[in-house]
Chain A
């Protein structure tokens, strides 16, 4: 029998907390979250397990796992957790750490690139532009799309936060 010793890694919990995912230590593993989780019902993602892994600081297991990206951020678990663990904030913090290590799906990168390019997460489409005009709306919505300077500012702002490294 092989026994693997797991040493808790409190440093990891602190990093997660710094990224907005505080209080994962409050989790007492009741499983209410997993029992409520619509994603867990359809995938191999287990949110209770993820909270435990986070407490233990199982960095590699967590950041390399695809399941980390199965959460739809529906908040059902957060509504029901008896210990008020900010579960979605923890998931988001862990995802930020995973992305910082270069774990990002191609389709997510595309969404990020769209935002970086035009300030929106979806592309501009000629048929919709036409429909907008038929509806009496401005062909180009009055967002960053309609103002080059505003768009340049948004890119500059995103660069300041390091987003350029993510979309590269």
Chain B
């Protein structure tokens, strides 16, 4: 059975716990064992914290990676931001001894060391590559008929030279995953356009972020989508929290919640009450 250290991040456990719950339930059904990465902190956020101090970002990420290394497990995350930060930090630390030495100088202050061995994965990647579409289909007990707009976000596939998952301009991984549940992923314009929240833009210039979100919502609405399916709690937050102001009403669910629904999870377990845009199944 595949076994991973489950890195929670910030937004899922502290804003949308239904994403965390669905992930735990769905992984169990798929035979993925999740071990809590106890004592982890923020990844830290690639846009904001990394923009303020690369040293703080690197040292804090190295701490999280070292915690997983101690457990002897690869990390899995359900958030593009955490995936972006931890993957990129691991890429730098695991391949560049001088960067690793720098991080370890900081970690020494708290009696820790990172050896440079932790691998970092996104849940969608694990589902697609490790579990596989056929094995997922075999676990679908309550197929859905939703027409959905898939939202990849940015830091799942990009930068593609290091992520090497698939073509970032024309991806299909998430569409294939979504369609395994019986849902139909609709084509639309500008499918890979950023949600607008990243890089600290949501915090500093909320109206600019919403302009990105608005274009996405217009395209999603024009496509006829009944749901937005994301793979990132931060994109999730951006889409869920800004629709009221923007005059849209398309419910937003994370991939883990869609799988939860299609695998017969009790509706109450999905944590939908935390969503601003009401989700009716």
Q: A interface vs B, CB < 8 Å?
A: 19-20, 38-39, 42-43, 69-76, 78-79, 88, 91-93, 95-96, 99, 104-105, 107-108, 110-112, 115, 119-125, 128, 131-132, 134-137, 141-144, 146-147, 150-151, 153-154, 156-158, 160-163, 166
Contact = CB atoms under 8 A, between A and B. Distances in A.
B199 A72 contact: yes
Interface in B26-62: 36, 38-42, 44-56, 58-60
A99 to B, nearest CB: 5
A131 B270 CA distance: 10
Interface residues of B, number: 66
A144 B40 contact: yes
A99 B52 contact: yes
A157 B200 contact: no
B154 A75 contact: yes
Contact of A92 (B54, B197, B271): B54
A75 B59 contact: no
B194 A108 contact: no
B71 interface: no
A157 B58 CA distance: 11
Nearest to B38: A142
A79 B48 contact: no
Contacts of B211: 42
Contacts of A111: 45, 48-49, 200, 203
Given A38-B193, A158-B59, A161-B59, A75 B158 contact: yes
Contact of B194 (A69, A72, A96, A151): A72
Interface stretch (B6-14, B143-151, B217-225, B240-248): B6-14
